[in-house]
Amino acid sequence: MDTTNLTAFLAIVDTGSFSEAGEKLFLTQPAVSKRIAALEEQLGTPVFDRIGRQVTLNEAGKALLPRARKMLELVHDTKLEIINLSGEVKGPLSIATSHHIGLRRLPDILKTFTRLFPDVKLDIRFVDSEASYEMLSRGEIELGIITLSPDSHPTIYSEKLWHDPLGFMAAKDHPLTRLKTVSTEQLSEYQAVLPGRNTFTYQVVQNLFDQEGLKLQTAMSTNYLETLRMLAAIGLAWCILPLTMQDDDLRVLNVELKGVKSPPSRELGYILHPKRTLSNAARAFIELLKQHKDNS
């Protein structure tokens, strides 16, 4: 079975359309359609139901889906094992990371890596940390350098690299900065700007408010922490950010949290799929990451 046809099939499943699958694979829509037609001819049955612009898997497509992923994973792992035998560090390396980590943690690491291994073709995808787990499960990336989930994932290996303390912050002229200590109840009286509800950071804040039965007022949300920082710095609302982002235009609030032994924080690190073969490039990147991890 032609792997290029299976790749097109999975791209349509993951994106939900022929045109977006084409963009993902750098192909025209007719080229994607041609590959699916060849796949369906080989199988002797359609794999999609096409109703208007909507594309959904039919029963044959649903049966093919897990097998297609396994076949492509086997081909990928076989190629990697053969390439790895040479000991050379080269070829593609697909990585997912968040904008914050990409801006604040990875520049020096990426600079060193590209200098040491110029034959590696890096494919860096800036996505929400939560999405990285799905991408890794689907085999779209080899590594994720992200905010680690507080919940364990039995099929994904994770390793902490950096402890990332968080702080409640507000502009210097915000009413909350006049208080020596701030309670969660006082925070609830003012609007906040926070990452989206599906993010680990938002869940940290929401859990604190839920414990006291308080309502969290959210003025707006975005997963770009630099944007949240700007919105808080101009006095629009309070926010919670990594302490490394605090500067003269933001004050860290002394928030008293009931029943909480330590201030809120995140753990940053990398994730990989333990059942998939890692390329030499991925192994080299992990070694470089470990050289830059926290000493604590």
CATH of residue 240's domain is 3.40.190.290
Tally the domains of the chain.
3
Same domain for 116 and 241, yes or no, is no
- Output the pLDDT for position 181: 93
Instruction: Please give the model's pTM, rounded to 2 decimal places.
Output: 0.73
In 191-280, beta strands by DSSP E = 192-194, 218-221, 239-242, 250-252, 255-256, 265-272
Same domain for 235 and 278, yes or no, is no
- The CATH number of residue 130's host domain is 3.40.190.10
Closest C-alpha to 285, from 17, 26, 91, 51: 91
- Output the pLDDT for position 296: 53
Same domain for 189 and 210, yes or no, is yes
The C-alpha R_g of the chain, in whole angstroms, comes to 23
106 in any annotated domain: yes
Instruction: Write out residues in the chain with pLDDT < 70, as ranges.
Output: 84, 259-261, 296
**Domain that residue 237 falls in:** 164-261
Q: Please say which residue of 47, 73, 99 terminates a domain.
A: 73
The predicted-structure confidence for 21-55, as pLDDT tens digits, reads as follows 999 898 999 999 999 999 999 999 999 998 877 88
Q: Please say which residue of 42, 73, 104 terminates a domain.
A: 73
